[in-house]
Structure 1
Amino acid sequence: MAEAVLQVENLAAAYRKQTVLHDVDVEVEAGSLTGIVGPNGAGKSTFLKTILQLHPALSGTVRYFGLPFKKAKKRIGYVPQRGSVDWDFPTDALDVVTMGLYGQIGWFKWPSRSHQKKAYEALDKMGMADYANRQISQLSGGQQQRVFLARALVQQADLYFMDEPLAGVDAATERAIMTTLKELKARGKTVMVVHHDLQTVADYFDHVLLLNRTVIDHGKTKEVFTNDNITRAYGGNMRLLREEQQHVVHSLK
């Protein structure tokens, strides 16, 4: 196995005294593009928030590149769910992306011209350069998602976590995001993505983490993303899975 960039052991988390994650053990190798897949309420977003210390853990240890989070956080990028962001905040797209550089700039310093150039180039990469001075509240959902991905890219992290970056976006934005994620993987970066569309998992990801409050299975897509494992992960929701499973069988042949 390649270098482990993320090691999670015995992780548990709860909301309002109800356990939503338990006994989660995960080891992620460098240079992988992993889809985090499971039914609604499986704890996928909670998993990301907990390992990033945005939600308290009940138990468990998490190490990045062999280090605790505080010593590794400059190497980590995060794109939250679009619905969790206050899009009415009075700022433009370029400022949002520049915020991704505050680890380099310092919180109480003005960004330099070179910092703004990096932010603009990240927007341009996501096809959003023409919207640099547009208020984020005036952008469409897909455009907002591109801006947040640009903010993550400008960090030049080694490990990226993305919480449903493809949810509710148009087909062109979905293609642009996946092209970017595959480019990151090709450059040796590691990317973990919460993803809800079973029909595209086999095409988009080389690794899969099947999660339903605990790890159902984790590994290479062709080995893990099987009908048996999908049934285990989704339990009795078989009506919703019939067409998706047929597609999975076809995709993995």
Structure 2
Amino acid sequence: MTSVLQVEGLSASYRKNKVLDHATFTVKPGTLTAIVGPNGAGKSTLLKTILELHPALEGSVSFFGASYAKVKSRVGYVPQRGSVDWDFPTDALDVVLMGLYGRIGWLRRPGKKHRQQALQALREMGMEEYASRQISQLSGGQQQRVFLARALVMDADLYLLDEPLAGVDAATEKAIMATLNLLKSRGKTVLVVHHDLQTVEDYFDHVLLLNRTVVAHGPTAETFTESLVHRAYGGTLRWKGVTSG
């Protein structure tokens, strides 16, 4: 199979501290992958560097065998909710419409067809009735659903999501995972920075264990093992109800 994403020797730093060190991995199409690792492991930095939102020190990244600049319209990104300015004066529908600007063009106004597409994406996330609600007036879970709707409306082939399940209620978590599985069933590829080790086996078919570099990557049954998880986390870690150090 042709790779959807290929990362070779990718390194990055913050304030001269290397937080990503020669990360190398390949993602195959139609997979739903959890990126897991301890705090400070470089998970968010990995996504941002892949998407050229943070400078790389070295290494290379290719999407569908091409540079990111050539295939941007095929890649959807949902950032951490805490990194977004939720006071920006816009409503939920306008946020979702932003996902179509790559197709519409930034200088053209969205038409009726585009608004219908955005409303359909909100409907799929159970947020249609909030279309005219100011984004700052929504709960954290509702905001996350709106951002996922923005990614959905792009109809991308690869989705990168940074902790979409962090701080959301159980209903939103269920809705998000149902959507991600629907995307997978449509042949899409999804990478998710994930923090809850207890749900990895239930939610994802592939796992990428990261601690500044890639410790292991592959099918969940083969990769999400006690020895490999401990290698990624080090120190004391609860593994399926057992504490070991």
Partner of 1:125: 124
Q: Which amino acid aligns with 2:115?
A: Q
- In structure 2, distance between residues paired with 1:200 and 1:76: 25
Partner of 2:216: 217
Give the C-alpha shift of residue 243 in structure 1: 4.2
- In structure 1, distance between residues paired with 2:109 and 2:129: 23
- In structure 2, distance between residues paired with 1:156 and 1:122: 10
- The count of corresponding residues between Structure 1 and Structure 2 is 243
- Mapping for residues 1-253 of structure 1, pairs under 5 Å: 2-238=1-237, 241-243=238-240
Structure 1 SS opposite 2:143: helix
Structure 2 SS opposite 1:208: strand
- In structure 2, distance between residues paired with 1:144 and 1:94: 12
Contact 1:8 1:61 survives alignment (8 Å) = yes
Give the C-alpha shift of residue 23 in structure 1: 1.3
1:159-214, Cα deviation, whole Å (9 max, x unpaired): 00000000000000000000000000011000000000000000000000000000
Give the C-alpha shift of residue 245 in structure 1: 6.0
Give the C-alpha shift of residue 52 in structure 1: 0.2
Q: Which amino acid aligns with 1:88?
A: D
Q: 1:217 to 1:245 in 2, by over 3 A?
A: farther
Contact 2:226 2:239 survives alignment (8 Å) = no
Between the two proteins, what is the percent identity of the paired residues?
A: 68
Q: Which amino acid aligns with 2:119?
A: Y
Contact 1:227 1:245 survives alignment (8 Å) = no
After TM superposition, which residue ranges in structure 1, 4 or more long, deviate above 3 angstroms? 242-246
Give the C-alpha shift of residue 237 in structure 1: 2.9
Contact 1:6 1:64 survives alignment (8 Å) = yes
Give the C-alpha shift of residue 242 in structure 1: 3.8
Using the size of structure 2 for normalisation, the TM-score is 0.98
1:94-117, Cα deviation, whole Å (9 max, x unpaired): 000000000111001100000000
Q: Which amino acid aligns with 2:182?
A: E
Where does the alignment leave 5 or more consecutive residues of structure 2 unmatched?
none
Q: Which amino acid aligns with 1:137?
A: S
CA-based RMSD of the aligned residues comes to 1.0
Q: Which amino acid aligns with 1:172?
A: A
Structure 2 SS opposite 1:4: coil
Using the size of structure 1 for normalisation, the TM-score is 0.95
Q: 1:244 to 1:17 in 2, by over 3 A?
A: farther
Q: 1:4 to 1:37 in 2, by over 3 A?
A: same
- In structure 2, distance between residues paired with 1:24 and 1:79: 21
1:29-53, Cα deviation, whole Å (9 max, x unpaired): 0000000000000000000000000
Where does the alignment leave 5 or more consecutive residues of structure 1 unmatched?
247-253
- In structure 2, distance between residues paired with 1:245 and 1:24: 30
